[in-house]
Amino acid sequence: MSNILVSVVIPVYNSADVMDDRCMHVFDQTLEDIEFIFVDDFSEDGSYERLLSYKERFKDKNIKVLRNEKNLGAGPTRNAGLSVATGKYVYFIDSDDQMVATLLSEAVEKMEAEQSDLLFIAHSHETGDRVITHHLPLHAINIHSIESIRMHAAHLPHNPWTRVIRRELMTANNITFPDIRNGHSMCCSLHMLLCAERVSFLDEVLYRHIFTENSLSLRRRLSYIFEVYNYNCALIRKYGYYEKLHQSVFIELLKGYTHGLMRLGEQEKLDLTEKFFSSPDAMTNLNELMSSFTFWEKKPFYKLVQRATGKDFRRTIRERHILFLKCQIARKYYHKLQVRQNQSAQPAIEPAK
């Protein structure tokens, strides 16, 4: 039987220029009995050779180095690492992020004490000089009720490095990252929460996500939104949670969709709309959500109500109003798409002779 407590799985792709500065911090963990599984996704910048040098340099560490035979994307690369993992727990991180040295020791201690299948961790999101701290939404969840936790599944942090997982949870339920280039982590996270029986929370900022985005990565990520939506709808149907979770799943993807609309060109907006609403579930959920808004949520007069109400009510009304505006944007571009499609479908009128 393996005495490894945690398998840390680290996908790597063309990260040679930052690996020495950011990647080697993983070896500073205070917890013993860790195996480090690096999986190179067919890098072209010498990352794989750099990983082999780590294995030679840090012989006192339990290091495994794998390499894909072609570029597969982060999801299948993480699955490759999981397939050779032997630890009781597994933790997926990014090669260019950083974690506090006590992260795994604190996580394992809490999971062992509470016999958890899954443990969420707070994190910071860093873009350039801007640092945003993301604490866990514990005020909205009954953390002692698995049903309450599942009801918030779509809104809990879903990046792989936001949770430590009991490996048996994944192997026993055939949980893997789907082969979707972007958004696969949300799908996997939802699957975990539908299968987990005990979930713990460690609301300490123990992980630094260092983020770099450009317009190309934005377009690439948004192009997969409809695939993620269809996958998640099929998942919650399979586990009998469609009626309870379909709206929250839709809302979470709606946020990403409308965020993209504000930053893309007109033709790209229509292309994204066509993809997002390719699923019949999307328009059904949009109409259902629109019909649920009250007069005060549809109109800007909600500020009049704020003066005589408490802070929590004001926050709820504001969030609902923003959600209503997002629904309006989605409906507007869907209508534009329909007009464009109808125009292109009409036969050309021959000129009179």
C-alpha torsion sign, points 324, 328, 330, 334: positive
CA distances from 238 to 175, 194, 231 (A): 13, 10, 11
H/E stretch holding 47: helix 47-57
Longest dimension (CA), the chain: 88
Model confidence pLDDT, tens digit, residues 221-273: 677 888 899 999 999 999 999 999 999 999 988 988 898 888 888 888 898 89
Write out the two tokens for 141: 């969840």
Distance CA 75, CA 263 (A): 26
Phi, psi of 115 (to 5 degrees): 55, 50
Per domain, the residue ranges of the chain are 6-212, 241-343
Whole-angstrom distance, CA of residue 328 vs CA of residue 326: 5
Q: Kindly report the three-state secondary structure assignment for every residue of 75-121.
A: HHHHHHHHHHCCCCEEEECCCCCEECCCHHHHHHHHHHHHCCCEEEE
* pLDDT at residue 214, as a whole number: 45
Q: What pLDDT, in 10s, does the model give residues 197-219?
A: 999 999 999 999 987 654 445 56
For residue 216, the model assigns a pLDDT of 43
Q: What is the pLDDT of residue 212?
A: 63
* pTM exceeds 0.85 for this model: yes
The span from the CA of 59 to the CA of 95, in Å, is 20
**The pLDDT of residue 306:** 55
Residue burial 261-292, b: 16+ Cβ < 10 Å; e: rest: beebeeeebbbbbbbbbebebbeebbeebeee
Q: What percent of the chain has pLDDT over 70?
A: 88
What pLDDT is recorded for position 226?
Answer: 84
Residue range 6-212 in CATH 3.40.50.300:
no
pLDDT in tens, 148-159: 999 999 889 999
Q: Which residue from 103, 69, 152 is spatially nearest to 92, judged by alpha carbons? A: 103
Q: Choose among 66, 69, 61: nearest CA to 36.
A: 61
Whole-number pLDDT of residue 20: 78
Q: Identify the segments of the chain with pLDDT beneath 50.
A: 1, 214-216
- Supply angle C-alpha 126, 130, 133, rounded to 5: 60
